Amino acid sequence: MAQRVQSGHLLDSERLREFCSVPLQKVGMSPEDALIAAEVLVRTDLRGVHTHGVRFLPNYIKRIQAGGINSRAEFKVIHQTASTALVDGNAGLGHVASYKAVQLGIEKANHHDVAVVLVRNSNHFGAAGHYALMCAEAGFIGIVLTNTPRIMKVSGSKSRVLGNGPTAYGVPSRGAPIVFDVAMSVVAGSTILMAAERNESIVEGWIVNSDGLPTTNPNDMAAGGALVPIADHKGYGLTLLGELLAGALSGAGMASGVGKTGPNGLTAPNVPWNVGHSFIVLKPNAFMSLDSFKARVSVLTTEIQSSPKAAGVNRIYVPGEIEAEKELARIKDGIGFDDVTWNSLLLLAKEFGIVDMLEKTRRQ
């Protein structure tokens, strides 16, 4: 659904960033943290990943107000060595802890070639790809994993066992950084949700119902169903790596210990998730000059892009290419949002008395 057309309301990204930071500050965040969170959210929309952009803001605010997210969270390094750090996210917004964790990882990798930073006691961190992109833009390779509240079955299970935590990586290139960010379910939970809202049936194999059986009814999801991993044991095992690194090794919650989930799969807004995040940061210079590496990456991506195309295909993309092009265009032309997202922002603006500020984010 990331590609669903967003259009009705064309907003300026810089002014939107400022706007988003205000409600976050009004519920207790420091200006610095609020701007970090706003930056991650708006840039995610700039890059076309609307599922993980500012549409989440009202939900975060609600969770802060309910006590599930700590707006005054400190970024606390519990333990560190030259090349590793373990961070307590202090039940804060995952975006802020992750942004700082990546900065710390880059600093460590810059001195010691490779670094691993783990965060525990965190909440939703938005788009994993953002942190991978941060690494790539700084000239580093980044690998990002997280766990999430459970929503997906595993091979052989009847019901939800693991979250649907994404795997992301970022790699510097001569052109746009390579940024890959996917979760291992056949389709995203939001796809099922949107089908349910629209009374559309779904493709068999996307979810199982509460009896563990395939179904085409999207309402079976909220009734205790589960997302299905791609390629069965492959998607299961790839997701498990996030649970092991970001969950088990960080000391965060694991599987059913993440958040407090109702039968509908939704987490209680007043209960911190206690998810973990894992950031592996690698300095290409440890192996060859950054320029040489970028040149080699470009040789590879050029070969991929210029491969013979299947019938009806105009262009072959490498991961992150579409997003980089969207970002360039939208910085210039504004980001289009549909009524649903606009109205949710408007409601938020009314709550905090900043409707004028929201209106001024409009490009036209």
| Residue 106 lies near its own copies (rule: CB under 8 A) | no
| Residue 5 lies near its own copies (rule: CB under 8 A) | no
DSSP 175-243: SSPEEEEE-SBSS-HHHHHHHHHTT----TTSEE-TTS-B-S-THHHHTT-EE-BTTTHHHHHHHHHHI
Report the residue from 24, 38, 40, 86 that binds its own copies according to the rule CB under 8 A.
86
CB of 280 closer than 8 Å to CB of 263: no
| Residue 304 lies near its own copies (rule: CB under 8 A) | yes
Q: Which amino acid is at 94?
A: G
CA–CA gap between residue 189 and residue 277 (Å, rounded): 20
CB of 118 closer than 8 Å to CB of 130: no
| Residue 110 lies near its own copies (rule: CB under 8 A) | no
| Residue 171 lies near its own copies (rule: CB under 8 A) | yes
| Residue 250 lies near its own copies (rule: CB under 8 A) | yes
| Residue 363 lies near its own copies (rule: CB under 8 A) | no
216 to 235, contacts with its own copies by CB under 8 A? 230-231, 233-235
Residue (10 or 241) nearer to its own copies, CB: 241
- Of the listed pieces 53-61, 205-213, 336-344, 354-362, which binds its own copies according to CB under 8 A? 205-213
| Residue 10 lies near its own copies (rule: CB under 8 A) | no
128 to 147, contacts with its own copies by CB under 8 A? 141, 143
Compute the chain's Rg from CA coordinates. 20
Residue (259 or 284) nearer to its own copies, CB: 284
Report the residue from 28, 58, 175, 237 that binds its own copies according to the rule CB under 8 A.
237
| Residue 207 lies near its own copies (rule: CB under 8 A) | no
- Picking from 305, 311, 224, 259, the residue whose alpha carbon sits closest to that of residue 94 is 259
CA–CA gap between residue 214 and residue 226 (Å, rounded): 10
Residue (75 or 293) nearer to its own copies, CB: 293
Q: Which amino acid is at 229?
A: P
CA–CA gap between residue 284 and residue 109 (Å, rounded): 10
262 to 301, contacts with its own copies by CB under 8 A? 280, 282, 284, 286-288, 293, 296-297, 299-300
- Picking from 88, 70, 85, 86, the residue whose alpha carbon sits closest to that of residue 33 is 70
Token pair 């973990």 is found at 276
Kindly state the smallest distance separating residue 24's Cβ from its own copies, in Å.
30
| Residue 246 lies near its own copies (rule: CB under 8 A) | no
| Residue 116 lies near its own copies (rule: CB under 8 A) | yes
CA 259 from chain centre, in angstroms, equals: 17
Give the count of residues interacting with its own copies (CB under 8 A).
79
25 to 84, contacts with its own copies by CB under 8 A? 79, 81-84
| Residue 165 lies near its own copies (rule: CB under 8 A) | no
